[in-house]
Amino acid sequence: MTFNTFLIPKTDSMLQVTPVHLSLNGTFQVQPKGILHVENKQFAGFGGYSDLYKADITFSDQSKPLPIMAKAFRILPNNQESRDQFTNIVDMLQDRESAVGYDHKYISPIWSAGNTVPAIATPYYGNGNIVNYVRFHPSTDRFELVRQTASALVHVHSKDIVHGDMCPENICIADDGTVRVTDIAVDTIVRQMSHGNNLCVPSKWMYKSPEELEWGYCTTQTDVYSLAVTIYSVYTLKPLFASKAHSYGKGLMQIIGHGHGGIFGEIKPEAMSDDLWEVVRMCWAMDPTRRPSMEEVDGMLAGMHEDK
């Protein structure tokens, strides 16, 4: 596949972070003031609907720069309608972030970035996502990372917000080895705003519930389902489905028809306890009404922790 490089936004114009929208959830001990400059900007890759950039931001009242990862939404040149659409998406995400609040230690902040190209940014997490971190640090307490993720999701749901894209890629690991849940509501809002009522296959379809893939439903119950699949992946450290293009359709139909329980339900990961396996199986039940709430999941995990 080749990419048209003229569609890649310039980093100088993209990374004009708006100070009034800045919210940094515990990254600094006090709220930083005034952006002095943005440096070390570099293209980091392509996302499903955005281009990724890494950079360092220096604030007037901080001695060290903050590494960030920015997602610049991909818009066509000279397309004002597309630009306005993604600007509205950024505003909606900022509203969601304000509703979630900045006081949960396992949730990553997100802020608006980009005056020329609509974009969002988060701190850059050098340890990568939860699966990669466990793969390179096999002695890591996986159960503790699962508990932290569940705690963050309980908080999100308590604000009547659905994450909408719970998967390993959206669970990053901070420098202290603890979880940071990222991209709350990002995928859901982008797909809804970009495609309207037209269903499209989400990029992380392999973590989705049957009802989300078939009907586009996105609820707290689909979050619970996706968390179960994510936990399963954290313990297997293997792809859920073959990465060949022709296998996607088969995998989608398997999930819609049988759910992950019907596909993997008899294959307990060796490193997973029987109690956690039972929670996973409850959470990926085909019938959404039979799944526990995140608060109930968190309670079960807490009880298992006390029994350790």
Q: How many other β-carbons are positioned within 10 Å of the β-carbon of residue 297?
A: 24
Comparing 106 with 83, the larger pLDDT belongs to 106
- Tell me which residue range forms the domain holding 294: 132-307
Does 23 have pLDDT greater than 70? Answer: no
Q: Is 3 part of any domain?
A: no
- Number of folded domains that form the chain: 2
Residue 41 — very low, low, confident or very high, per pLDDT cuts 50/70/90? confident
Please tell me whether residues 287 and 150 are part of one structural domain.
yes
Residue 208 inside a domain? The answer is yes
Residue 69 sits in the same domain as residue 156: no
Helix (H, G, I), strand (E, B) or coil at 51: strand
Q: Quote the tokens at residue 124.
A: 């850059």
- pLDDT tens column, 91-128: 777 777 766 766 789 999 887 776 667 788 888 999 99
- Tell me if 1 is assigned to some domain: no
Task: Answer with the one of 123, 155, 189 that is the final residue of a domain.
Answer: 123
Q: Of residues 12 and 232, which shows the higher confidence score? A: 232
Position 2 in a domain: no
Q: Return the DSSP state at 12.
A: H
* Residues 83, 218 share a domain: no
> Is 232 part of a structural domain of the chain?
yes
236 in the same domain as 142: yes
- The residue from 76, 95, 123 where one domain ends is 123
Answer whether 0.75 is exceeded by the pTM.
Answer: yes
65 domain residue, yes or no: yes
64: domain CATH number is 3.30.200.20
Assign 3-state DSSP to the chain and report helix, strand, coil percentages, each to 5: 45, 15, 40
Spatial distance between the Cα atoms of 283 and 292, rounded to a whole number of angstroms: 6
User: Are 65 and 149 found together in one domain?
Assistant: no
Provide mean pLDDT across the span 45-67: 79
Contact 155/107 with Cβ under 8 angstroms?
yes
3-class DSSP state of 192: helix
Do 91 and 186 lie in one domain? The reply is no
Q: Answer yes or no: do 81 and 153 share one domain.
A: no
Tell me the pLDDT band of 52, cut-offs 50, 70 and 90.
confident
Q: Give Cα 93 to chain centroid, integer Å.
A: 13
- Say whether both 101 and 24 belong to one domain: yes
Last residue in a domain, options 88, 106, 123: 123
Q: Are residues 265 and 138 both part of a single domain?
A: yes
